[in-house]
């Protein structure tokens, strides 16, 4: 018998080798208790959280929690159905209203995850005979959406404006074109030059989708993302986002001004053929989104945190993903997986949790320690974090 697991042998060996070196499993951490958006108990010890994408710290907001509890009491634990059958409750409509207001757009469609939002919108909009032009460092959900839709997929070098235009020029006259970009790329924490890229996409007659998963709530004067910040949100056909980062719960969405947008509710398979979000989740999301409309102070504090951490790590000799802080993600480059895992473990022993990222999720075979800051991290916590990095970096031999 051909064992279908054989294809995973290289991954099995890599993992066994890593664990044999005595390092703790970086992909098996358990949060035994969560005390706040920035502190949890892991392995029995208090740990500062610096790898949760909980950018705005909404998970413990008292209004958000109350809304969830109330919905749980009033509507039960789940909908047990698709949005197009028995799975649309008043809460689903309310969260879509909140999104329309948040983005000042005409249409909003909520999915069960951000992954499904990309899968659904991309595969439904770009099918056989159409072309998708996308950044090579796009999130897995974008690639999977491309695969599912069966369009011609044309990747270009990360954030390379000229390469993008070259690809667009080669597409046959009259073919349907979708350009897919992200506001913030989550591996290195860098932003896209959306103003130029969207201008070029439009010049070539393409529709544009921007995934603002890592910028919603934080970047832009109203927290609408990088497209808002660069003044081109009105040219974006589809904004994709998630509730699993700044919003602080789970779920995904697409907002749009396209007049025919609503038909997607009937033709988009990852929307139709899955159960809708539980009432408590949509209630927490709606409350959180409404609060994010007025979160200017939190946004300003998060920028301060990002700048302080970036400078603190750079000054101590760490190699970072960007020269300047561009988002709430600060990526620290590791020489290889072994030393990356050793540094990750040394940080955990210090009482700090960050994400260890490795290929194939990372670009160019990099091993990264990805730090995502939260608006609820205090200035003191950020200083503590810098001290932890310095000590762990010396133990793991990353800095001198």
* Contact residues for ligand PLP, defined by CB under 6 A: 113-115, 118, 139, 141, 182, 186, 211, 213, 242, 244, 252
Closest to ligand PLP by CB, 180 or 233:
180
Contacts of 94 (CB under 8 A, 6+ apart): 282, 283, 286
- Rounded to the nearest whole angstrom, what is the least distance from the CB of residue 275 to ligand PLP in the complex? 15
Closest to ligand PLP by CB, 141 or 287:
141
- Rounded to the nearest whole angstrom, what is the least distance from the CB of residue 276 to ligand PLP in the complex? 14
Closest to ligand PLP by CB, 53 or 89:
53
| Residue with tokens 């919603």, as numbered in its chain | 216
The answer to whether the CB of 99 falls within 8 A of the CB of 255 is: yes
Closest to ligand PLP by CB, 139 or 299:
139
- Rounded to the nearest whole angstrom, what is the least distance from the CB of residue 248 to ligand PLP in the complex? 12
- Rounded to the nearest whole angstrom, what is the least distance from the CB of residue 328 to ligand PLP in the complex? 13
Closest to ligand PLP by CB, 211 or 229:
211
Closest to ligand PLP by CB, 182 or 350:
182
- Rounded to the nearest whole angstrom, what is the least distance from the CB of residue 186 to ligand PLP in the complex? 5
- Rounded to the nearest whole angstrom, what is the least distance from the CB of residue 251 to ligand PLP in the complex? 7
Closest to ligand PLP by CB, 24 or 144:
144
Closest to ligand PLP by CB, 134 or 396:
134
| Rounded Cα distance, 109 and 263, in Å | 11
- Rg, C-alpha atoms of the chain: 21
Sheet with 107-111, edge to edge strand ranges:
107-111, 252-256, 238-242, 207-211, 177-182, 131-135, 152-156
| Rounded Cα distance, 49 and 40, in Å | 7
- Rounded to the nearest whole angstrom, what is the least distance from the CB of residue 29 to ligand PLP in the complex? 17
- Rounded to the nearest whole angstrom, what is the least distance from the CB of residue 356 to ligand PLP in the complex? 15
């Amino acid at each position: 018998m051909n064992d279908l697991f054989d294809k995973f042998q290289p991954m099995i060996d890599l993992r066994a080798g890593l664990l044999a070196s005595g390092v703790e499993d970086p992909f098996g951490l358990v949060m035994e208790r969560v005390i706040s958006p920035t502190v949890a108990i892991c392995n029995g010890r208090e740990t500062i959280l610096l790898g949760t994408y909980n950018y705005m710290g909404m998970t413990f907001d008292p209004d958000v929690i109350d809304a969830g509890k109330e919905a749980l009491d009033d509507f039960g634990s789940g909908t047990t159905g698709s949005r197009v059958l028995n799975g649309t409750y008043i809460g689903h409509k309310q969260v879509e209203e909140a999104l329309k207001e948040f983005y000042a757009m005409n249409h909003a469609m909520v999915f069960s995850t951000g992954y499904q939002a990309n899968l659904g919108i991309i595969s439904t909009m770009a099918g056989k005979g159409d072309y998708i032009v996308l950044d090579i460092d796009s999130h897995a959900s974008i690639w999977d959406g491309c695969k599912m839709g069966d369009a011609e997929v044309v990747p270009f070098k990360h954030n390379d404006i000229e390469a993008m235009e070259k690809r667009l020029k080669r597409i046959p006259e009259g073919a349907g074109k979708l350009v897919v970009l992200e506001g913030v790329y989550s591996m290195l924490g860098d932003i896209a030059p959306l103003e130029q890229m969207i201008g070029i996409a439009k010049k070539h007659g393409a529709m544009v989708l921007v995934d603002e998963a890592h910028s919603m709530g934080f970047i832009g004067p109203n927290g609408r993302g990088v497209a808002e910040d660069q003044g081109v949100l009105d040219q974006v056909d589809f904004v994709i986002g998630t509730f699993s980062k700044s919003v602080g719960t789970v779920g995904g969405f697409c907002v749009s001004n396209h007049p025919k947008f609503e038909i997607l509710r009937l033709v988009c398979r990852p929307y139709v053929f899955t159960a809708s979000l539980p009432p408590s989740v949509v209630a927490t999301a709606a409350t959180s989104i409404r609060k994010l409309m007025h979160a200017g102070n939190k946004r300003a504090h998060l920028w301060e945190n990002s700048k302080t951490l970036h400078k603190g790590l750079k000054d101590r000799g760490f190699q970072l993903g960007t020269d300047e802080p561009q988002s709430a993600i600060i990526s620290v480059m590791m020489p290889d997986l072994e030393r990356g895992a050793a540094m990750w473990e040394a940080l955990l022993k210090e009482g700090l949790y960050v994400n260890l990222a490795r290929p194939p999720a990372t670009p160019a075979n990099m091993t990264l320690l990805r730090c995502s800051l939260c608006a609820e991290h205090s200035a003191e916590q950020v200083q503590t974090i810098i001290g932890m990095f310095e000590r762990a970096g010396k133990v793991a031999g990353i800095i001198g």
